[in-house]
Amino acid sequence: MDFIRTMMIAASGLRAQSDRMRIISENIANADSTAADSKTDPYRRRIPTFRSAFDRELQANVVQLGKIQTDKSDFIMKNEPGNPAADAAGNVKYPNVNPLIETVDMREAQRSYEANLNVIGATRRMISRTLDLLKA
């Protein structure tokens, strides 16, 4: 397989996982936010998806960030009568973000990012060794 093509495919994985980590970070950052008032909804968890795309220049399939979906699960309700975002019953809607799930997703994205980085590193070493062989 062509070394440059291998590196470009791995680079597409790096970009996709980087975008995934950005979205997960947004979810974590908004986990404790509330809406401005009781009539509006708070932040809704976002879910990154991936898609395969054919790169004509590389003549290969690469991974890209697909549509970013919103999690339709229910918001977390907490009874906080003094909160400005509380409804008439004193309940406040919090985002449907579970920090534990986001942490696990972040760790998975980091490992996938590292795996793609290792592919690039291994390919660079193969290129270097090939050049050393050609010099000899």
For the chain, give every domain's residue range. Answer: 3-135
State the chain's mean pLDDT as an integer. Answer: 94
**Cβ 62 vs Cβ 10: under 8 Å:** no
pTM: 0.88
Note the pLDDT of residue 93. Answer: 95
Q: Inform me whether the pLDDT recorded for 92 exceeds 90.
A: yes
Please name which of 83, 20, 19, 74 lies closest in space to residue 44, comparing C-alpha atoms: 74
Q: What is the mean pLDDT of residues 47-66?
A: 94
What share of the chain in percent tops pLDDT 90? 88
Note the pLDDT of residue 10. Answer: 96
